[in-house]
Chains A and B, each alone.
Chain A
């Protein structure tokens, strides 16, 4: 069982809609969680991180964390075609801060 699970997609949403990306994790010792965006052929780019239960908002992005359910999500409001990319969920744990990534969800925003 992978430690961080994501649906590979693709998730298709129309331009202007809300995209909802989900992630579950198995290691209850995970401390912090990250969402990275990765365009094809490029390296991951940090979107947001969250470590407390609840919501964290940054512009059009909202990260949600529920440690009891071991669930992390990312909402993208007013989705734009430029948001089309793969979104990687990552969890950090352990003394050396090992980061475990999910497989990534491919998002397609349709104009």
Chain B
């Protein structure tokens, strides 16, 4: 399967801990997006990479959030000092620039 993969699929953590998620896009896709989705809502844009450059970051992304895409391949999203409000599904999507974004299975985070 050469689709978008995300790890871990589920993460339970205690408030105040740091967590890191990984996304491996489709290999030929140079654009990568992170979204957050809470229950009953559509995905909300967090940040966007073109190759290794982070070109846009949502105001939703507080300074506790950081994302990287070293070498323009996989990407990581780190949340520091997690809060209960961070509980959500974190989705990664990639595209080659043809507009259609393909989503990974998501990482479901629960902050206790």
Contact = CB atoms under 8 A, between A and B. Distances in A.
Interface residues of B, number: 26
A51 B104 CA distance: 24
B104 A98 contact: no
Contacts of A4: 42
B99 interface: yes
B31 A97 contact: yes
Interface string A1-33: 000101010000000000000000000000110
A97 B99 contact: yes
A51 to B, nearest CB: 8
Interface of B: 31, 33, 35, 40-45, 48, 50, 55-56, 89, 91, 93, 95, 97, 99-106
- Is the interface on chain A under 10, 10 to 19, 20 to 34, or 35 or more residues? 20 to 34
Interface of A: 4, 6, 8, 31-32, 34, 36, 42-46, 49, 51, 88, 90, 92, 96-104
